[in-house]
Amino acid sequence: MKKTKKIIGFHSGHDCSYCIFKNGIPVTHNELERFSRKKEHLGDALEFLFQSNDEWEDVKYFSQVIDNWKGGFIKRYPDTAKRMFDIAKNNKGNFYYFGHHQTHAANAFYSSNFDEALIITIDAGGWDFKEHNPRSYFDYTDKDIMPTTFTISLGKGTKIERLHIKDINEFNIGATWNKCLEEIFGLSTGYPYGNQAGTVMAMACMGDGDKYFNDFKDTIHTKNIDTTKFRQIVKNGNEQDKFDIAAAIQKATEQKIKEQIDYYIKLHKPKNLCLAGGVSLNSVLIGKLYEWYDGIVENICVPPVPYDAGLSIGVCQILWHDERFMNQPRIKWNDNSPTYLGYTYHEDSINEELEKNKDKIRYKKVDDNFVADLLSKDNNVISVFGGGSESGRRALGNRSILADPRNDKMKDIINEKVKHRQWFRPFAPSILKEDVKEWFEYDINSPYMTTVIKFKKEKRDKVPAVVHFDGSARLQTVTKNDNKWYHSFISKFKQKTGVPIVLNTSFNDREPIVETPEHAINCFLGTNIDYLYFRDVNILIERI
Ligand SMILES: [Fe+2]
């Protein structure tokens, strides 16, 4: 039998994560935050790996992105680094460093099904090799690297050619957003409460983007932006002022990014775009790309983990595909690259939790049909748990809270029962992929809930709980190949209601998405969610 080739990628620091590749395919991707229960947890990814039950002793290759000084992680975490080098040496393998944006770009492109694409990376900063086609180094010096927030590359087959890299001091939209979040809106930008840029995006849809546009249009990419004026406005003003400021920040961001990429779009006329880096979590911006480049760009891929926790996936992908390393052919995904890369929890661990909580809950065996029926009536809010947990920030049907999108009170009901979010934040729809063209203005692919586009006007009042104030939604498109259970469940809901859409929000209450059956029951008991459905074992739980 051919021996399995295993690679481990890891990312220490914030968004601490590791990823295991077998024969070029990601099979496990875990983020520390899901286990520590602190958002965007900082830590030593190797320690996290070595404490796991995964099989890593037979791994030959390890990789991660470069530090801002040579071998930084080795000095920071010497014991686990030594252990990693010992394993690699013992297995006659090696360790590799790749560039931060080089890795974001590879993760976006190799996770897509595109043979050719223009690749854009945007974030709040990472170190990368200056050279045009970065390879891997161990003995790099300060002269070889530079901090950057923005690159453009061209992907073709297994080759990725960098066209452009920007100096962090010239361009840093990610840092400006963080500054505005903290200083103007008093929001969090990372550990332990997570980055709350989504709140600003939601507010932006409610505001007049022109009112303060001139204040941001020339400074949105410079972290020297002066926030004093806006702090005062927010302090003394009303909610609409906040919305107008958010709208100006969003509009200036869109304009500045468009300015940067226009030239390359016109030059290369790419049918396919790939984006990664934290700023590509701006799902409104991703939707705008379809509008701006209508007639040129047909498909956009943002990978499941476009922010820094996805670097642990990207480094494995470079190592596997790049001709200077393992030189393996591209992988053709069945619809989309896999994203349910966390652990699956089996019947025993679920039963153990049921037993532990037997004085607080009652449960019964049901089938999916019964649950789809419950979902369609009585304002029910149902959490579902099953399969491997989702990689990335979005729950995509395996650790989700579901509700009926037809109910115009549902947003308030969910907020009251569990989520406690600001009234203006929208909830997202999961829709059968085959029905997107009938319900939305563009027939797009958005399997990881990365893109905001508008519902068709005539459909909006059919699903009021998932339509934002401007008619838009951040949709998840669902196929059988991506998630067989979820596709079948939404189909059952469609049979009953005529609507191929369910409201889907992550199964959590402000903390990271639930990971284990224990987290699921704790979250359920700590909130007023009506039912918890362990769908792998068809067990439906109610509170006593
Ligand atoms: Fe990044």
445 and 336 in contact (C-beta within 8 Å)? yes
Cα-to-centroid distance, 268 and ligand 1 (Å): 25
Cα-to-centroid distance, 101 and ligand 1 (Å): 7
Tens-digit pLDDT profile for residues 133-191: 888 877 788 888 999 999 999 999 999 999 999 999 999 999 999 999 999 999 999 88
- CA 515 – CA 487 distance, rounded (Å): 21
Cα-to-centroid distance, 178 and ligand 1 (Å): 14
Cα-to-centroid distance, 283 and ligand 1 (Å): 16
Cα-to-centroid distance, 521 and ligand 1 (Å): 34
Cα-to-centroid distance, 124 and ligand 1 (Å): 7
Superfamily of structural domain 6-100+306-321: ATPase, nucleotide binding domain (3.30.420.40)
- CA 365 – CA 371 distance, rounded (Å): 11
Long-range contacts of 140-147 (CB under 8 A, 24+ apart): 140/66, 140/70, 140/97, 141/70, 142/69, 142/70, 145/66, 145/68, 145/99, 147/68
Pairing of strands 145-156, 61-65: unpaired
Cα-to-centroid distance, 98 and ligand 1 (Å): 13
Q: Is 303 left (phi over 0), alpha (psi -120 to 50) or beta?
A: beta
Tens-digit pLDDT profile for residues 6-61: 999 999 988 999 999 999 999 999 999 999 998 888 899 999 999 998 999 999 99
Residue 70: the pLDDT is: 61
Cα-to-centroid distance, 280 and ligand 1 (Å): 10
Expressed in angstroms, the distance from the first to the final Cα of the chain is 53
Q: Is 192 exposed, middle or buried (0-12, 13-18, 19+ CB in 10 A)?
A: middle
Cα-to-centroid distance, 322 and ligand 1 (Å): 20
- CA 257 – CA 252 distance, rounded (Å): 9
Cα-to-centroid distance, 511 and ligand 1 (Å): 22
Residue 1: the pLDDT is: 47
Cα-to-centroid distance, 307 and ligand 1 (Å): 6
Return the amino acid letter for 345: Y
Cα-to-centroid distance, 420 and ligand 1 (Å): 29
- CA 321 – CA 3 distance, rounded (Å): 18
Report residue 2's pLDDT band, with 50, 70 and 90 as the boundaries: low
Q: Hey, what are 130's tokens?
A: 């200056």
Cα-to-centroid distance, 35 and ligand 1 (Å): 22
Work out the average pLDDT over 500-525. 95
- CA 360 – CA 465 distance, rounded (Å): 31
Pairing of strands 539-543, 531-534: antiparallel
227 and 179 in contact (C-beta within 8 Å)? yes
Average pLDDT of the residues of the chain: 94
Cα-to-centroid distance, 150 and ligand 1 (Å): 10
Q: What percent of the chain has pLDDT over 70?
A: 99
Q: What residues have their beta carbon closer than 5 A to ion ligand 1?
A: 123, 126, 277, 308
Cα-to-centroid distance, 189 and ligand 1 (Å): 14
What values do phi and psi take at 293, rounded to 5? -110, 30
Cα-to-centroid distance, 217 and ligand 1 (Å): 23
Residue 237: the pLDDT is: 81
CATH numeric code, 347-543: 3.90.870.20
- CA 485 – CA 536 distance, rounded (Å): 9
Cα-to-centroid distance, 306 and ligand 1 (Å): 8
- Per DSSP, the three-state class of 299 is strand
Cα-to-centroid distance, 304 and ligand 1 (Å): 14
Cα-to-centroid distance, 107 and ligand 1 (Å): 11
Cα-to-centroid distance, 278 and ligand 1 (Å): 6
Cα-to-centroid distance, 182 and ligand 1 (Å): 19
pTM over 0.75: yes
Cα-to-centroid distance, 173 and ligand 1 (Å): 12
- CA 266 – CA 296 distance, rounded (Å): 9
The secondary structure element, H or E, covering residue 251 is: helix 239-268
- CA 76 – CA 81 distance, rounded (Å): 9
Cα-to-centroid distance, 310 and ligand 1 (Å): 9
Cα-to-centroid distance, 129 and ligand 1 (Å): 14
Cα-to-centroid distance, 148 and ligand 1 (Å): 9
Backbone CA torsion sign across 37, 40, 43, 46: positive
Cα-to-centroid distance, 103 and ligand 1 (Å): 9
- Per DSSP, the three-state class of 67 is coil
The secondary structure element, H or E, covering residue 100 is: helix 100-110
Work out the average pLDDT over 86-107. 95
Residue ranges per domain, the chain?
6-100+306-321, 347-543
Task: Using alpha carbons, list the distances in angstroms from residue 420 to 140, 361, 397, 508, 529.
Answer: 48, 23, 21, 11, 12
Q: What is the biggest distance separating any 2 CA atoms in the chain, rounded to whole angstroms? A: 71
Q: Is 433 left (phi over 0), alpha (psi -120 to 50) or beta?
A: alpha
Cα-to-centroid distance, 410 and ligand 1 (Å): 35
Pairing of strands 145-156, 159-167: antiparallel
Q: Classify residue 418 by its DSSP letter.
A: I
Cα-to-centroid distance, 9 and ligand 1 (Å): 15
Cα-to-centroid distance, 279 and ligand 1 (Å): 9
Tens-digit pLDDT profile for residues 332-372: 999 999 999 999 999 999 999 999 999 999 999 999 999 99
Cα-to-centroid distance, 277 and ligand 1 (Å): 5
- CA 420 – CA 435 distance, rounded (Å): 31
Cα-to-centroid distance, 164 and ligand 1 (Å): 16
The closest of 544, 177, 116, 181 to 364, measured between CA atoms, is 544
Checking if the pLDDT of 528 tops 90, the result is yes
Residue 236: the pLDDT is: 87
Q: What percent of the chain has pLDDT over 90?
A: 86
